[in-house]
Amino acid sequence: AQTVTQSQPEMSVQEAETVTLSCTYDTSESDYYLFWYKQPPSRQMILVIRQEAYKQQNATENRFSVNFQKAAKSFSLKISDSQLGDAAMYFCAYRSVLSNFGNEKLTFGTGTRLTIIP
């Protein structure tokens, strides 16, 4: 079974600075998807960024980018120019490529609470 580990329960960053959130995972599969979701105080889960394991290029979405190290099974999220609206819980999640029964689920880490300091 796959596992996802987020070792930083809490992080803080000064507004306009850059912060990196860590995520490691364990899997025996060679192809899979990785996601970062944001959960603000409203508790709505919002997709931030997605990475396909077969792609070597790191995904980027505006101020959000990932550092995907497949051999190390590491998937960190970098937030540049941090804004007050970035304050939230951030969850790393894994999904198998296989879509048959039993592989539909997202496996989540325990989350990192990010605080933005004005």
CA distances from 82 to 3, 66, 114 (A): 29, 15, 10
Instruction: Please identify, using beta-carbon distances, which residue of 9 and 63 lies nearer to another protein.
Output: 9
Between 75 and 91, CB nearer to another protein: 91
Kindly write out the interface string for residues 59-98 of this chain, putting x where it contacts another protein by CB under 8 A and - elsewhere. --------------------------------x-x---xx
The answer to whether residues 26 and 17 touch, using CB atoms and an 8 Å cutoff, is no
| Stretch of 16-24, 40-48, 59-67, 73-81 lying at the interface with another protein (CB under 8 A) | 40-48
Nearest CA to 80 out of 24, 35, 14, 36 is that of 14
CA 90/CA 40 separation, integer angstroms: 9
Is residue 105 within the footprint of another protein (CB under 8 A)? yes
